[in-house]
Structure 1
Amino acid sequence: MTWNFMCLILSLFLSQFVHSLNNNTTDSLDTCLQDFAFRTLIRHRPHTGNLYNAMLPANLSGMSVSIVRLRSRRLWNRGANFCNFHIPSRTIPVPHVKRLALVYHDFGNWSSHYYTVPGYSMITPVIGFKVFDASNMMSRSVKKLSLNTMGKPIVIRFSNSTLSDGMVSKARCAIFSSNGTLHLGEITLANVCFSQDQGHFSIVVPLKRKRGQWKLWAIGIVLGIGGFILIGYVVIASVKVLKAKKIQVMEKQADEDLVLDTIWVGRSKMPSATVTRTQPTLEDGGLP
């Protein structure tokens, strides 16, 4: 009961601060989802090979978790084909256990909140699975297992994908491993990914670049340069006009301050200034 309450609080916290998630927080969420799945098995007293859907808190609506318990011998003989995942026959759990549980995740509309691929857009929800030791269902600590498929691929089919045949060459299979690393693999078949082990998966395509954006930048640069040139021309012209007006004012003021007489020289009237000479003075101070 206490662990369920802690998982509920954690899920509420994640729903509010989902954009700041790191790998450790995602692992904590996986642990809570695993706990919900195992409690579903205990509540149903399950039959081996039957798939059961776990009940999740209301704030995780849109996400689904399922669980199935298998014998290792059945996995070796027949493989496993549940929730769009096909694990091939001749697969063994590592380390070997008598019974194992496969927990399937479908993040639905929460996919883009918990997982991102830089430069790509997800066109399918993130789905995945993890493998656990189910030998003792009442144990408080559940051991994680790996799978050895003997070189055969695990097939992941995306039934609700919108990927067309013409987009296969550009699309990539995003593989989110349990250690937090991201791998982008090529897609050879539409809506199908391949893997060698457990993890989470999605089909992604490159983000579309807005066409014509470079034209807008070019137009903006040209207009900016033209604007600077126009402003510079206006400033230079204004300076020249002000300078010319200042010179005119100075000339007018000079003309007003200097009043000259006029005389006739021949048939022309010309300005004439009165000549004033300094009177000579003798050494004894008298006039000549």
Structure 2
Amino acid sequence: MSKRYTGKLYDIPLPTNFSGMETSIVRLRSSSFWRRGANFSFFKIPHRVLPWPFVKRFDIIYENLGNLSSKYYDVTNYTFVTPVIGFLAYDARRSRENYGMVELNTMENHILIHFPPNNDYNKNMKCVRFVKNGTIEFSNVTMNNTCISRGQGHFAIVVPSLKPEEEKKGKWKWWVIGFGVGIVGLILLIVMGILIYKCVRLKKRGNMERQSGKSEALDDVWVGNSRMPSASGIRTQPVLENSYVP
């Protein structure tokens, strides 16, 4: 941290085998941290918080595990819907011999963890906190994909994993619904085709009747159960040629 400013966040370059992860660090004075708190990365730490054991300066290291989240953390029967993100505080005077991790005494205040927006909202979503001693804590997700904590660690949002039989049942349900919708659509298409055919026939028949009305009117005769047009017959009276009248 030599030649770096207190209170400014710096990115930490990582080896290529950690591609997809992001790490950054910020050094803070305990006195300023007590008055202002900290709002870096995805975390908002309130004021009136002190490191424990107390040190004059300390570093906060932020991590975003990205697509490597499931490689380092796992929650049985749950699936990650966000990457695992976390922060840990260290004594600024730490060395290889002295790891120097410190706790943050929030004194009933809450640390807010803001996750990126997620369109796949699920009412079963849960916040999960991975504590450094290996325990896992669950809590409810608040509005805007936010989790609340009273301590440091790593955090994520998870949903219950579907069991294989439930997943198959869900797929079968959608297949049945799709098949039913397809059958109904086919029936409607056939009915519409029949109606259109009848309308065309009725229109054509009407045109023919109007056309025949313009021509000479014919009488109708019934032959059995069929009605047929018939011209009226006019019998011509016989006239004798060269008739002789005595």
TM more than 0.5? yes
2:52/2:102 contact within 8 Å kept: yes
1:190 and 1:160 map into 2 onto residues whose CA distance is 7
Matched to 2:15, the amino acid is P
Shift in CA distance, 119/74, structure 1 to aligned 2, threshold 3 Å: same
Q: Does 1:105 align with 2:63?
A: yes
TM value normalised by structure 2: 0.65
What does the per-residue CA deviation read over 1:159-212, in whole Å, with 9 as the maximum and x for residues that have no partner?
Answer: 253452xx2x31100110010111111123231011101100000011233152
Alignment RMSD (CA, Å): 2.1
d(CA) in 1 for partners of 2:120 and 2:90? 32
- Give the AA of the match of 2:137: H
Aligned residues: 170
Query: In the alignment, which of 144, 167, 177 is matched to residue 131 of structure 2?
Result: 177
Matched with 1:67 is 25
Relative to the length of structure 1, the TM-score reads: 0.55
Match of 1:117 in 2: 75
Larger helix fraction of residues: 1
Does structure 1 retain, via aligned residues, the 8 Å contact 2:117–2:144?
no
How high is the sequence identity, in percent, across the aligned residues? Answer: 43
Distance (whole Å) between structure 2 residues aligned to residue 118 and residue 137 of structure 1: 35
* 4+ residue segments displaced more than 2 Å: 136-142, 160-164
Question: Structure 2: how far apart are the matches of 1:182 and 1:159?
Answer: 22
Question: Is the contact made by 2:94 and 2:100 (CA closer than 8 Å) also made in structure 1?
Answer: no
Structure 1: any 5+ residue segments left out of the alignment?
A: 1-40, 216-288
1:145 and 1:162 mapped to 2: Cα distance?
Answer: 36
Q: Within 5 A, what are the aligned runs for 1:1-288?
A: 41-42=1-2, 45-134=3-92, 136=93, 140-164=97-121, 167=122, 169-208=123-162, 209-212=166-169
Cα-to-partner distance string for 1:74-125 (whole Å, 9 max, x where unaligned): 1100000001100000001111110010000110000011111111110000
Q: Does structure 2 conserve the Cα–Cα contact (< 8 Å) formed by 1:72 and 1:100?
A: yes
Q: Deviations over 1:251-273 (max 9, x none)?
A: xxxxxxxxxxxxxxxxxxxxxxx
Which is strand-richer, 1 or 2? 2
**Structure 2 CA distance for aligned equivalents of residues 201 and 101 of structure 1:** 19
Report the residue type matching 2:80 in the other structure: M
Q: 3-state DSSP class of the match of 1:70?
A: strand
For 1:93 and 1:46, locate their aligned partners in 2 and report how far apart those are by CA, in whole Å. Answer: 21
Residue 109 of structure 1 aligns to a residue whose secondary structure is helix
Q: 1:219-238: CA deviations, max 9, x gaps?
A: xxxxxxxxxxxxxxxxxxxx
